[in-house]
Structure 1
């Protein structure tokens, strides 16, 4: 009976790990549909500006490397993200919710279209990683959040940009997390397949010609479908 129960637990955990692998190791927010995407016109090449706030330990070259990979993905839509490092600072709080609160209360600089916070790695993070690894190994529940974008305007977000634990590297990486959250910064939500996201990115680019748009701001359509045509607070 004990062996049977262990087998059931193994099957349950294996299924959980497999599903999590599919959901978290995917660099996008759904499965790509190449033929569908290639049939959509994304217009002329456009660049948008991303202000970066980074924590101590994240080097400038780390930022450039992250954006190089992100821009490979964005090239599918004739888009390019141009980073500007604003400052290096201490984390405003331990949890991701603390970072989002800080970003929501931070004015978007005039020279930027998006605001991205790069979270580093502290001793507290290491302890938390060990704790969550134990939870994951015990019941298959993955507690760590690698990044998030606020849903009010979809213009501000953060990613965990530095970590080295084995379990994290199996499931994701800073580069894949940036690609994932980068789609949210363009107004995409989660879906099984990417058709809806392709349409959203096309529609966002079409807003460039909207007469009500601030000409110094790259627009977005937030997760609720609201057009964000002017730089938010």
Structure 2
């Protein structure tokens, strides 16, 4: 049992803090084209400050600079969380169409008394059986254009394995079409291919394109699915 603990810890770190392990030589040998930017529209809970939002994007843009990319933040609205669970948040986001100002849509989840109680519960489960139940963020898989992160937290598990900045970087890779992999080569190729879509003649010139993890091209907002709340 003791021999398995390092592997469990490695798996937890891999799941929580990164999309995969960087392969610097491979990345530096690839061309990611000219500098480009995309617009990320933000919805956030009332207890998240503008300074915290800006600090998150500074960290994300430092990572994105590896690919000649920059995320431009546009804060749309302060609003209460549409539900306690991450699935509630994603379901709500799927009802919102991407407007002409937005290439991606991101909800920043705060920290309530209910979250604190859940953190205590999950910490007990983690200590007891080594199972981590708390999810720090997610991106929908139909177009990889909407997602959420937990932007304010401080439980023991979270401090050990992740942070709001690393969570945004992780989910930010999903927002550029990357899936999960052990090493980053496939993700580098996906980001390169997404940037190549900027030259696609069928692209809406007012939309930063994307690809799904299965390789489907998202060239305009009409290809981004939107569902009614009844669905």
Does the alignment reach a TM-score above 0.5?
A: yes
- Aligned with residue 215 of structure 1, among 198, 205, 226: 205
Q: How far 1:177 moved relative to its partner?
A: 0.3
Q: How far 1:13 moved relative to its partner?
A: 7.0
Q: How far 1:186 moved relative to its partner?
A: 0.1
TM-score, with length taken from structure 2: 0.93
Partner of 1:165: 155
Q: Which moved more, 1:196-205 or 1:162-171?
A: 162-171
Partner Cα distance (2:166, 2:13) in 1: 13
Matched, 1:81 2:110: no
Partner of 1:50: 40
Matched, 1:63 2:57: no
Are residues 105 and 192 of structure 1, via their aligned partners in 2, closer, same or farther at CA, if it must alter by over 3 Å? same
Give deviations 1:108-139, integer Å, cap 9, x for gaps: 12101000000000110000000111110000
Q: Is the 8 A contact 1:16 1:140 kept in 2?
A: no
Give deviations 1:47-66, integer Å, cap 9, x for gaps: 10000000011001100000
Matched, 1:225 2:219: no
Matched, 1:174 2:164: yes
Give deviations 1:141-182, integer Å, cap 9, x for gaps: 000000000000000000000001122111100000000000
Matched, 1:186 2:186: no
Q: How far 1:12 moved relative to its partner?
A: 6.2
Root-mean-square deviation (CA), in Å? 1.3
Partner Cα distance (1:89, 1:25) in 2: 26
- Aligned with residue 122 of structure 2, among 132, 142, 149: 132
Partner of 2:13: 22
Partner Cα distance (1:34, 1:166) in 2: 31
Runs (5+) with no aligned partner, structure 2: 227-231
Q: Is the 8 A contact 2:123 2:156 kept in 1?
A: no
Partner Cα distance (1:190, 1:102) in 2: 24
SS in structure 1 opposite 2:181?
Answer: coil
Partner of 1:91: 81
Partner Cα distance (1:165, 1:178) in 2: 17
Partner of 1:4: none
Partner Cα distance (2:24, 2:128) in 1: 38
SS in structure 2 opposite 1:141?
Answer: coil
Partner Cα distance (2:137, 2:34) in 1: 30
Partner of 1:113: 103
TM-score, with length taken from structure 1: 0.92
Partner Cα distance (2:13, 2:118) in 1: 24
Partner Cα distance (1:189, 1:41) in 2: 20
SS in structure 2 opposite 1:153?
Answer: coil
Partner Cα distance (1:167, 1:150) in 2: 24
